[in-house]
Amino acid sequence: MGSAIACSWRASFARPSNVLVLDEPTNDLDIETLELLESLLIEYPGTLFLVSHDRAFLDAVVTQVIVLEGQGIVTENAGGYSDWIRYLAQRKKIQANKESPVSAASETAGTNRPSAIKPRKTQAGRLSYKEQKELETLPDTIAHLEKEEAELAQTLADGTLYRNSPDEVKRLSQRQAELTHQLEQAFLRWEALQQKHDKEP
């Protein structure tokens, strides 16, 4: 059975193509055939659209994950399944921090002191006024980037776009890569500032 499937895969990849669509390709494969499929897909020069519940297989093969989150929300994230899980955990952490209640007293305590708004040398481990404002605005910045990324992924999901407007696909794909990079940097910056904030006495 495994040899027959392996021969079928080799024959399929021998045909010239630039787009490949696979739905649960790892079902009923033995280890040897699965490893063969992984190597063939990694070396495949075209675009691969893959649907699979095999998380390890996704991590080994794909470079981007498109997630259907429900309610019409489609999110695209660079990397494999494990990268998506890490991204999701960071996003939930930021959302929880954004929605946590803050008392009016704590919001205004710093602004009533002249030293809070005057340029001053900050102590190690303390957020400067500028860093505090950045920490407060980063969740909105991330939400805006995520919204644009979701809208872009939905646009790129239209198959007719690839046939009718290849130049537009290239432009949108470049913007998508920029958004992914900006989101990664925003998450890293938020995490660094949040950790610094949490260490404050």
Classify residue 57: in a domain, yes or no: yes
Residues 121 and 193 in one domain: yes
Among candidate residues 83, 36, 32, the one with its CA nearest the CA of residue 62: 83
Residues 56 and 101 in one domain: no
Report the 10 Å Cβ neighbour count for 190: 20
C-alpha to C-alpha distance for 155 and 148, rounded to whole angstroms: 11
In tens, the pLDDT along 94-107 reads 777 666 544 333 34
15 or 145, higher pLDDT: 145
Which of 83-87, 107-111, 190-194 has the weakest average pLDDT?
A: 107-111
Count of domains observed in the chain: 2
Supply φ then ψ for residue 152, to 5 degrees: -65, -40
Classify residue 68: in a domain, yes or no: no
CATH number at residue 160: 1.10.287.380
Residues 54 and 85 in one domain: no
Residues 38 and 133 in one domain: no
106 or 31, higher pLDDT: 31
Residues 119 and 33 in one domain: no
C-alpha to C-alpha distance for 167 and 161, rounded to whole angstroms: 9
Classify residue 76: in a domain, yes or no: no
CATH number at residue 31: 3.40.50.300
45, 51 Cβ separation under 8 angstroms = no
Residues 170 and 94 in one domain: yes
The stretch 130-157 carries a mean pLDDT of 86
Q: How far is CA 199 from the centre of its chain?
A: 28
Residues 107 and 43 in one domain: no
Report the 10 Å Cβ neighbour count for 159: 10
Provide, rounded to the nearest whole percent, the portion of the chain with pLDDT above 70.
81
**What is the overall mean pLDDT for the chain?**
77
Q: Is the pTM of this model over 0.75?
A: no
Classify residue 75: in a domain, yes or no: no
Classify residue 58: in a domain, yes or no: yes
Residues 15 and 104 in one domain: no
Residues 47 and 89 in one domain: no
Residues 138 and 174 in one domain: yes
Residues 88 and 120 in one domain: yes
Residues 110 and 54 in one domain: no
In tens, the pLDDT along 57-81 reads 888 888 888 888 877 777 877 788 8
What pLDDT, on a 0 to 100 scale, did the predictor assign at position 117?
Answer: 30
Radius of gyration in angstroms for the set of CA atoms belonging to the chain, rounded to a whole number: 23
- Domain hosting 48: range is 2-62
Classify residue 35: in a domain, yes or no: yes
Classify residue 136: in a domain, yes or no: yes
Classify residue 73: in a domain, yes or no: no
Amino acid at 178: E
The stretch 41-49 carries a mean pLDDT of 86
Amino acid at 189: R
